Amino acid sequence: MLFMHIVTEITDRKIPCYFISPHLDDAILSAGGLISYLANKTDVHILTVFTEASSPPFTRFCRKFMQVSGYTDAYKFFRDRRNEDQKVFRTLHAKCKHLGFVDAAWRKKSGPRKARKFLGQFLPEVLYLYPRNRNFRSGRIVKEDWKLMLEIENALKNYVPSTQDKVVFAPLAIGNHVDHVIVRDVCAKMYKQAVFWSDFPYNQGKNTSQEFIEAPTTLQSRNLKMPFVGAEIRRSGSTLYIPRPNDRGIPRRRIKNSGLDFFRWDKNLKQKKNLILGYKTQIPTLFPNKTELKIVPELYYFKPTPGVSSPR
């Protein structure tokens, strides 16, 4: 089924939509145009997975990240992030739910030994699963997070009904942020017809784009051996190439190999920019100079219905 047919069916039949967002700004950053278009036409639910910090001591990255936004207290930082997230979605009359899992940058190892605990007072990084920026942007999910993925799956079952028609949207995890990869892989397992969005602003990065354009990648973590992860796509042995969002001539044959099709969404982009500016705690880190906030059309990847041809 063509993407516009999906959108038309959603609005005509008022099919509920569920956007599974890794962090408190991701759904609007990547899908804000579509969300604002759908919000007054059907029930739109945003389920944000990673919405909490851990307790001190914090890594150098966490301290610096908060400092850029003017914070030293992680509790207040995440409280304000949750509040602004709720405020943004209230303006759209969309429902948002925070699932309360700890963000990767703040996620600690469970049950550290006494020696590690002691060392952690002086070098907090030894207490963390992903102690540095490069660790949680590697796309590699540590084994200790496998249990977390099952907990996220169970949490989603409480909020996304299994018996009624619905459309579920999830990140494609461009940029390899481990939290995005986790959400993508959980959704790929749970929702066989999930629609995946291209992650903004990660999809604008030179290195990220080159990695996904030039090298094939499956919708699963390369190091993750859990049998359910990306099962729908791995069973077909398919390969997915991600096109650069600002390219006009997108090589469709590359997308077809994945069994997914793609669609460019360019409606409500002005509204989307205003929504992004509502995340005041995040603007300093994402867009230090507001003139850098250039909104591009959104890209969505979905599984066409068999027998329905894709647009040329």
Q: Which ranges of the chain does DSSP label H, i.e. alpha helix?
A: 3-13, 26-38, 60-68, 74-92, 114-120, 133-136, 145-159, 178-190, 206-214, 231-234, 252-256, 269-276, 283-286
pLDDT per residue of the chain (312 residues) written in tens, 0 to 9: 578 888 999 999 999 999 999 999 999 999 999 999 999 999 999 999 999 999 999 999 999 999 999 999 999 999 999 999 999 999 999 999 999 999 999 999 987 777 777 777 878 899 999 999 999 988 899 999 999 999 999 999 999 998 889 999 999 998 899 999 999 999 999 998 899 999 999 888 644 433 332 333 344 433 333 333 333 333 333 333 344 433 333 344 444 445 667 889 999 999 999 999 999 999 998 888 766 788 999 999 887 754 333 332
Phi and psi for 52 in degrees, rounded to 5?
-135, 160
Cβ atoms 290, 283 nearer than 8 A: yes
Closest of 269, 265, 272 to residue 91, by C-alpha = 272
At 259 the pLDDT is: 64
Split into its structural domains, the chain has a count of 1
**309 within some domain:** no
**196 within some domain:** yes
**312 within some domain:** no
At 235 the pLDDT is: 30
All residues at 6 or more sequence positions from 256 whose CB lies less than 8 Å from its CB, including other chains? 310
Dist. CA 39–CA 253, nearest whole Å: 33
Domain CATH for 287 = 3.40.50.10320
**294 within some domain:** yes
Q: Which domain holds residue 107?
A: 3-302
Cβ-based neighbour number of residue 284 at 10 Å: 14
**310 within some domain:** no
Dist. CA 254–CA 61, nearest whole Å: 37
Q: With a threshold of 0.85, does the pTM exceed it?
A: no
**102 within some domain:** yes
